[in-house]
């Protein structure tokens, strides 16, 4: 029989077990922190009805959608858009979920969702067709206090502190402030404001000259003076909480939208402080706009101080109405998303991911086939104490068994030979410390537990 080549499509990140463990640890940290802040888990189906998924989205998204057809539906001509498709984000499914289950949910509804989404991207390094999004959102019924906008950075801080991938800054802005400021410069048309907003969002990537040229160019036709004012505005960054408040005041009076944005930002900044986020970890950045039309107030981006090239690792903001396409209820909300697949890939690329540790703590070796029951009893005790343990069931040379443990990233190897059995002890080899010790059989669980707890505490 001819062999089929074993392969996956481009744009998916399939990991070897030790890498998967590192990835899973990140997922666990994110989930633990989301839960700690009182967010509830939701999972939605990967497959949704196409008409449900595509109510809102523009052409770009539609071109990237994966459609799904069961065998029976294939080949039926003239069908137009297939009935089913894979979700391309978690926000549209959230809107559908909240609209569908509205009567069964308590509001403000706080949910987290950590699942994969699918986009038919062009195959290209760093572009993923399947990737994890780890989202939180708080959804209000009719209204939602701006205070929730201050809670989100507290969650971001908590997540990335525990992920321990280096110093980071949560950057904040407010779309009302931006649009109000543009209005004060004579840009009163909402559409035009959005276009300017999208241009200035490119500031950190393309630089001031590019943005200035665009704004004064044919497409926008703004005066040099107005462009200069916009550039001065979007270049505002703060260093401390007081500095942020001062810089907001220094912008001068403006139209209603601007005053509203400023007051929201001030309240949010003050509360972020009360939430215990240190001033070193958040800042005003008036160029942050986020591309999507969808955001209406506070917007967030988070960057790694030492790796600016990675870009934002966690973004989001406040929106006016989550599910207007499905329900007449008014559902304002605020949320963020961590694109974990891309983040993991970039961190690994930058050498920031450690992959040497296994989930397996102990390998019990096999010296003598006849003693298998003793090995199994030992493993049973370790497992009973929550210590992940593998037993060599097939035997072979001890050297090979050690090599297997080493290659698999298992830290402890337990040896229970004739001599150890006679003396009621176990020899333990610590492959991480390249050390070896003997411990009384009855003390083994306790000893290893202490070692493993210490290692866990040290990260």
Site for its own copies, residues 16 to 55, rule: CB under 8 A: 16-18, 20-21, 24, 35-38, 40-49, 51-52, 55
Residues 254-313 that bind its own copies (CB under 8 A): 271, 274-276
Q: Which two tokens stand for residue 359?
A: 């989930």
Among the listed residues 406, 407, 372, 409, the one whose alpha carbon sits nearest the alpha carbon of residue 391: 372
Among the listed residues 96, 118, 86, the one whose alpha carbon sits nearest the alpha carbon of residue 12: 118
Residues 218-257 that bind its own copies (CB under 8 A): none
Q: Applying CB under 8 A, which of residues 58, 76, 89, 97 lies at the interface with its own copies? A: 97
Instruction: Choose the stretch contacting its own copies; rule: CB under 8 A; options: 102-110, 253-261, 279-287, 314-322.
Output: 102-110
Asked whether position 71 contacts its own copies by CB under 8 A, the answer is: yes
* Separation between Cα atoms, residue 405 and residue 382, nearest integer Å: 17
Instruction: Choose the stretch contacting its own copies; rule: CB under 8 A; options: 70-78, 206-214, 255-263, 438-446.
Output: 70-78
Q: Which residues contribute to the annotated binding site for L-histidine?
A: 89-91, 119, 133, 137, 290, 294-295
| 284-288-294-297 Cα dihedral, nearest 10 degrees | 20
Binding mask 126-165 for its own copies (x = CB under 8 A): ---xx---------x---xx-xx--x------x-------
Q: Applying CB under 8 A, which of residues 373, 399, 424, 459 lies at the interface with its own copies? A: 373
Nearer to its own copies, 204 or 381 (CB): 381
Q: Which two tokens stand for residue 412?
A: 């402890």
Instruction: Choose the stretch contacting its own copies; rule: CB under 8 A; options: 74-82, 246-254, 284-292, 308-316.
Output: 74-82
Q: Which two tokens stand for residue 403?
A: 């090599």
Instruction: Choose the stretch contacting its own copies; rule: CB under 8 A; options: 59-67, 234-242, 295-303, 423-431.
Output: 59-67
200: number of Cβ within 10 Å: 23
Q: Is the dihedral of CA 304, 308, 311, 315 positive or negative?
A: positive
- Residues in contact with 417: Cβ distance below 8 Å, sequence separation at least 6, in sequence order: 367, 368, 427
- Count the residues of the shown chain that bind its own copies, applying the rule CB under 8 A: 105
Spell out the alpha helix ranges (H) of 164-223. 175-184, 190-200, 203-206, 208-216
Asked whether position 355 contacts its own copies by CB under 8 A, the answer is: no
Among the listed residues 204, 187, 205, the one whose alpha carbon sits nearest the alpha carbon of residue 196: 187
Nearer to its own copies, 57 or 235 (CB): 57
- Residues in contact with 439: Cβ distance below 8 Å, sequence separation at least 6, in sequence order: 425, 426, 428, 447
Among the listed residues 180, 187, 240, 233, the one whose alpha carbon sits nearest the alpha carbon of residue 211: 233
Residue 85: what are its φ and ψ, rounded to 5°?
Answer: -150, 160
Asked whether position 124 contacts its own copies by CB under 8 A, the answer is: no
Integer distance in angstroms from the first to the last C-alpha of the chain? Answer: 49
Residue 274: what are its φ and ψ, rounded to 5°?
Answer: -65, -25
Nearer to its own copies, 99 or 313 (CB): 99
Nearer to its own copies, 10 or 308 (CB): 10
Instruction: Choose the stretch contacting its own copies; rule: CB under 8 A; options: 9-17, 188-196, 280-288, 440-448.
Output: 9-17
Q: What angle do CA 185, 189, 190 make, to 5 degrees?
A: 110
Nearer to its own copies, 96 or 212 (CB): 96
Nearer to its own copies, 218 or 394 (CB): 394
Nearer to its own copies, 72 or 351 (CB): 72
Q: Applying CB under 8 A, which of residues 58, 76, 106, 435 lies at the interface with its own copies? A: 106
Asked whether position 328 contacts its own copies by CB under 8 A, the answer is: yes
């Amino acid at each position: 029989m001819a062999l089929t080549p074993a392969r996956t499509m481009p744009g998916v990140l399939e990991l070897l077990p030790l890498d998967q463990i590192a990835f899973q640890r990140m997922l666990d940290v994110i989930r633990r922190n989301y839960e700690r802040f009182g967010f509830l888990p939701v999972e939605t189906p990967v497959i949704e009805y196409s008409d449900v998924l595509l109510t809102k989205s523009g052409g770009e998204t539609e071109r990237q959608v994966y459609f799904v057809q069961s065998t029976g539906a294939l080949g039926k001509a003239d069908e137009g858009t297939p009935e089913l498709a894979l979700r391309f984000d978690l926000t549209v499914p959230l809107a559908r979920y909240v609209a569908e289950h509205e009567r069964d949910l308590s509001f403000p509804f706080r949910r987290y969702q950590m699942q994969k989404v699918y986009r038919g991207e062009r195959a290209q390094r760093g572009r993923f067709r399947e990737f994890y999004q780890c989202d939180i959102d708080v959804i209000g019924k009719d209204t939602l206090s701006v205070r929730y906008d201050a809670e989100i950075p507290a969650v971001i801080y908590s997540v990335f502190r525990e992920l321990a991938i280096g110093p980071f800054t949560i950057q904040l802005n407010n779309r009302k402030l931006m649009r109000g400021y543009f209005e004060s410069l004579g840009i009163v048309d909402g559409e035009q404001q959005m276009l300017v907003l999208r241009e200035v969002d490119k500031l950190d990537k393309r630089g001031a000259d590019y943005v200035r040229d665009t704004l004064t160019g044919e497409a926008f036709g703004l005066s040099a003076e107005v462009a200069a004012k916009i550039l001065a505005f979007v270049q505002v960054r703060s260093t401390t909480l007081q500095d942020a408040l001062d810089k907001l005041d220094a912008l001068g009076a403006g139209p209603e939208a601007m005053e509203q944005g400023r007051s929201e930002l001030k309240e949010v900044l003050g509360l972020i402080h009360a939430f215990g986020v240190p001033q070193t970890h958040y800042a005003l950045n008036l160029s942050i706009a986020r591309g999507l039309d969808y955001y209406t107030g506070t917007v967030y981006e988070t960057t790694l101080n030492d790796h600016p090239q990675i870009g934002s690792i966690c973004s989001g903001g406040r929106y006016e109405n989550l599910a207007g396409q499905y329900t007449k209820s008014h559902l304002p909300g605020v949320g963020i998303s961590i694109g974990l697949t891309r983040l993991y890939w970039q961190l690994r690329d930058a050498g920031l991911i450690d992959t040497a540790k296994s989930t397996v703590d102990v390998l019990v070796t096999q010296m003598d086939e006849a003693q298998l029951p003793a090995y199994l009893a030992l493993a049973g005790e370790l497992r009973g104490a929550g210590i992940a343990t593998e037993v060599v069931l097939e035997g072979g040379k001890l050297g090979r068994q050690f090599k297997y443990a080493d290659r698999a990233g298992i830290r402890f190897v337990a040896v229970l030979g004739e001599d150890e059995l006679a003396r009621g002890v176990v020899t333990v080899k610590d492959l991480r410390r390249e050390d070896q010790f003997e411990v009384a059989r009855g003390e083994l669980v306790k000893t290893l537990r202490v070692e493993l707890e210490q290692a866990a505490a040290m990260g």
